[in-house]
Amino acid sequence: MENFEFVSPTHFVFGRGAEEQVGAKLAEAGAKRVLVHFGGESARRSGLIDRVGASLDAADIEHIELGGVRPNPEITLVREGVRLCKEGNVDWILAVGGGSVIDSAKAIANGACVECDVWELFETKALDHDVLPIAVVLTIPAAGSEASKNTVVSNDELGRKTGYANNAQRPKFAFMNPELTFTLPPFQTAAGLTDMYCHLLERFFDDVGAVPVTDNLNLSLMNTIRAEAPRVLADPENYDARANIMWAGMLCHQGLAGVGRHEDWATHGLEHELSALDPAITHGAGLAVMFPAWMEYVHGENPARFAFYGQAVFGLTPTGDVEADALSAIDETRAFFARLGMPTTLAELGVEETDIPKMLPTLAQNKGVPFGSFKKLTLEDAAEIYKLAL
């Protein structure tokens, strides 16, 4: 097991009606003026924004609203949020939504506390500044941003999508009511399941040997996601299935599933270039295409690790041929994503071979070269992985 630091300050309020406690909990924490940040009109049409506002009103907390966060959140709206926070003396940010809304809220929380343009933080990765406290009402379990130290934001003008990690931006509160996820469309549910599963794959495959306590937690979460996925897709209002998925999604990316490991994150880097190329590409869908391609390309570095994964998660019987067993595990992973309704090729996402050279320069900017842990990848390697995914 490698040395590690682990920070987890989030106060979780989980279960039916969790969002009704927003006002009381934030008042206890000293909130006076809150920016309520959300995505499209569905949060308003459902009455959730009104319920959250009423909870804040009941606690005598002033609040202003900023909606309009898109999937793959963009820096322009973040800058607007920063302006509102600075001009309105906002002291807390409340994200109502999924990973995109939470990531946008985190970026605003950072930008509100610096003099420079917020995008500079994503370029420089500077950490020596205050961050406004963040609370979350989660509506889409997927990204795990409700407890993670990470945010990812796009800059359309530059054609960039890049991340920023800072323990100070981990949310202070996460209000998690599984009932809020009942109306998620099947594709969005499936993309979320894929994203959380891939968070585990990024941690399970690196250049560190076995770390049993972490590995077993990781594998247990993989098996939970695989077990609950068909239940929730068949019965979207199954409370227990939704609850298990919601809690698993948090655990998949909070950091606990990777302690003592180096982690890899090459595949997320490869996918970020897809959704920077076309923001309409859903992150989970892009990962469903890229992860099996990455696996095919790198598995020779440690085929036994892939074989073990196939046995522990998919119940594959060892054949005595580790290479064949590794390839079977990769096939099962691709088939799992396909059963969820995810794409399996870049062509299904509208990405062509001629797009590959367009993505490589920004991949180098965002990840550096070489990148990855399981296998150190060059830009030539990246191009070959994209070609495998075609």
Report the distance separating Cα 188 and Cα 282, nearest Å. Answer: 9
Mean pLDDT of 225-248: 97
Tokens representing 257 are 């599933």
Q: What pLDDT does residue 128 have? A: 84
- In this prediction the pTM is 0.94
pLDDT per residue over 154-195, tens digit each? 999 999 999 999 999 999 999 999 999 999 999 999 999 999
Q: Which CATH class is domain 186-389?
A: mainly alpha
**Other C-beta atoms lying within 10 Å of the C-beta of residue 130:** 11
Dig out the tokens for 49 from the structure. Answer: 């924004």
Q: What is the pLDDT of residue 237?
A: 97
Which CATH code is given to the segment(s) 11-181?
A: 3.40.50.1970
CA 131/CA 119 separation, integer angstroms: 15
The two beta strands, 150-155 and 160-165, are antiparallel
Average pLDDT of 216-222? 97
**Could you tell me the pLDDT band of residue 43, with boundaries at 50, 70 and 90?**
confident
- The domain locations on the chain are 11-181, 186-389
Within a 10 A sphere around the Cβ of 155, how many other Cβ atoms?
A: 18
The pLDDT value recorded for residue 42 is 85
Q: Looking at residue 338, what is its pLDDT?
A: 97
Per the document, the length of the chain is 390
- Residue 226 Cα to chain centre, angstroms: 18
pLDDT band for 41, please (50, 70, 90 cuts): confident
Mean pLDDT, rounded, for 100-123 = 96
Q: Is the pLDDT of residue 261 over 90?
A: yes
Mean pLDDT of the region 67-81: 96
Q: What percent of the chain has pLDDT over 70?
A: 100
Q: How confident is residue 40, by pLDDT bands cut at 50, 70 and 90?
A: confident
Mean pLDDT of the chain: 96
The beta strand positions in the chain, using DSSP E, are: 11-14, 33-38, 62-66, 92-97, 134-138, 150-155, 160-165, 173-176
